Amino acid sequence: MNTAVAVSSSSETPEVGALIRAHRLRIGMTQRQLADLSTISVRAIRDLEQGRARRPRTDTVRLMAEALRLGPRARAVLEEAGRRSRGNGLGAAPAELPAPPTALHPAVGRDTEVGVLVEELSAPRAERLVNVVGLTGVGKTRLALEVAARLHTAGMPVLWWDGSGAPSEHLATAPEPVRLRLSALTAGLYPDHRDHREGAGGTGVASADGWAPAADLAALVGDGPALLVLDGVPAAPGRLDRLARLLRDYPGLRVLATGEDPWEVPGERVFLLGPLEVPAATEPGDPQQAAVRMFLHQVRRVRPEFTPDRADLARAAAVCRGLDGHPAALAAAASWLVVCDLAALCGTLDADPAALLDHLGGHSSGRIRDALDDRLDRLPAGPRELLDLLCDHPAESFALADLLSLTGRGLPDSGRLLRELLLSGVVRAAHEVDGSRFRVLGIVRAHCRARKAAAAR
């Protein structure tokens, strides 16, 4: 078969779209026929031929060459054009890397967690699907923002999708074309989600069900490693088959999700995010300790003139212990310093910790009570019964062995129940030299008791 095609008088390799169009017209094939033979969508073919898409993925070029039945020489020319369009064959991303949103507040006390996730998502054998789970308000979004920012600084394109619909504390940076393509991609994963936009259909390798994300990703992030953040997702995607296909068809993609529950799917790396570490009861208040630093940061947002003395630091440490270092709870407590001083705040904390969960400024963390209600209501019967027992138990901490006598169950059943409570975020672990111990979060214990008292009235 004679596959010589005159495309351009230039000595340079022609653009890949021009080559595809010339080969298609030479053999009298329509774009629809080429789409059917190659499994590449008509829209993707049209965008390539018209120059709107200039960085086709390697698989896209291969499928086109096979559908056009190119000989070795013509195929080599087409593949070279594809490599040149992606940046000298290095899989380069677009000149302006898609960036994550800009955080409005500093990340406090999460250096270890950020370092672990950055390493896992950027390593040669990177984790492909990381799910950060934890109680509402514990800082999952802020952690994801910091991880995404560091990966982006290192040269990785980042696509960010907010699935929560809640008021955000970051500034979106994605331009409209990026948001439209990203909306099409996520609408395929969450077809019933409210962010689905009609007319924002994707391009790429078309499947039997019409979802075709590959070329959209290639146009947005190139052919190399990229991060897709699904922030605040309510549950696993309604189309897990599509998520699996996305990861399979785009080998460089890493997905970082944040939510309240694991998805329990193959390949998922569950990353449990607990509250910030708090000072021990015997330790003085240290302004560099993670939870204390977070609390003082929130205090200065409502009282910029605040300069803590030694007594204030001790009280700040007590607040952090009473609220378990939970970032949203610390922000809510700090908001009360508009109407009271730190000593009075500590007194309220001793009398009724749940009273401090309402943010005076109408901040999103003011929904802590609602979030706790939702979390407790969604617990399965077994873990919920165990939580009730633990909240009524006088001991503040316990070991796994203690559960055996408390529940009357065997080790496997007790271990599974404890794991459920840990992953739900209502229990935190302390792994020490002499063994692991666990405790119900103070705000959860106080809220459970308040619910029980309200039900009894």
Using a pLDDT cut of 90, give the percent of the chain over it: 36
Per-residue tokens: 138 = 């514990």
Domain range list for the chain: 16-85, 102-272, 290-368, 379-456
Q: Which helix (H) or strand (E) holds 214?
A: helix 214-221
Map residue 129 onto helix, strand or coil.
strand
pLDDT score recorded for residue 193? 62
In whole angstroms, give the CA distance from residue 56 to residue 87. 11
Q: Please say if the pLDDT value at position 5 is more than 50.
A: no
Alpha-carbon distance values, 235 to 66, 218, 238, 322, 373 (Å): 39, 27, 8, 30, 17
Q: Please say if the pLDDT value at position 211 is more than 80.
A: no
Q: What's the DSSP call for residue 265?
A: -
Judge contact between 202 and 228, C-beta under 8 A. Answer: no
Question: How large is the C-alpha radius of gyration of the chain?
Answer: 27
pLDDT score recorded for residue 87? 53
Range 16-85 has CATH code 1.10.260.40: yes
pLDDT score recorded for residue 380? 93
Q: Please say if the pLDDT value at position 2 is more than 50.
A: no
Q: Mean of the pLDDT values across residues 438-445?
A: 90
Amino acid at 59: D
pLDDT tens by residue, 392-429:
888 888 999 999 988 889 999 999 999 999 999 999 98
For the four alpha carbons of 248, 254, 259 and 260, in that order, the dihedral sign comes to positive
Q: Please say if the pLDDT value at position 205 is more than 60.
A: no
Q: Please say if the pLDDT value at position 8 is more than 80.
A: no
Residues in the chain: 457
User: Comparing 148 with 62, which gets the higher pLDDT?
Assistant: 148
Tell me the pLDDT band of 199, cut-offs 50, 70 and 90.
very low
Judge contact between 318 and 278, C-beta under 8 A. Answer: no
Phi, psi of 352 (to 5 degrees): -155, 85
For the four alpha carbons of 283, 289, 290 and 295, in that order, the dihedral sign comes to positive
Map residue 246 onto helix, strand or coil.
helix
Judge contact between 202 and 36, C-beta under 8 A. Answer: no
CB atoms within 10 A of CB 138: 26
Give me the chain's average pLDDT, please.
Answer: 82
Angle at 446 between CA 441 and CA 448, to 5 degrees: 95
Q: What's the DSSP call for residue 204?
A: S
Q: Mean of the pLDDT values across residues 307-329?
A: 92
Alpha-carbon distance values, 146 to 118, 138, 160, 351, 414 (Å): 9, 14, 12, 36, 36
In whole angstroms, give the CA distance from residue 152 to residue 126. 16
Angle at 364 between CA 440 and CA 261, to 5 degrees: 45
**Measured distance between the N- and C-terminal CA atoms of the chain, rounded to whole angstroms:** 87
* Least trusted range by pLDDT, from 7-21, 108-122, 236-250: 7-21
Q: Mean of the pLDDT values across residues 322-338?
A: 92
Q: Domain 102-272: give its CATH code.
A: 3.40.50
Per-residue tokens: 185 = 């991609």
pLDDT score recorded for residue 416? 94
DSSP string, 67-101: HHT--HHHHHHHHHHHHHHTTTTS-PPPSS---PP
Amino acid at 173: T
Tell me the pLDDT band of 272, cut-offs 50, 70 and 90.
very high
Range 379-456 has CATH code 1.10.10.10: yes
- Of 166, 212, 223, whose CA–CA distance to 187 is shortest? 212
DSSP string, 121-185: HHSTT--SEEEEE-STTSSHHHHHHHHHHHHHHTT--EEEEE-S-SPPSEE----HHHHHHHHHH
* Least trusted range by pLDDT, from 251-255, 291-295, 452-456: 452-456
Find where tokens 């078969």 sit.
Answer: 1
Tell me the pLDDT band of 132, cut-offs 50, 70 and 90.
very high
For the four alpha carbons of 319, 322, 328 and 333, in that order, the dihedral sign comes to negative
pLDDT score recorded for residue 268? 94
Per-residue tokens: 414 = 């007790």
Using a pLDDT cut of 70, give the percent of the chain over it: 86
pLDDT tens by residue, 20-73:
988 999 898 999 889 888 878 777 788 788 876 666 777 788 888 999 999 888
Map residue 178 onto helix, strand or coil.
helix
Q: Which helix (H) or strand (E) holds 158?
A: strand 158-162
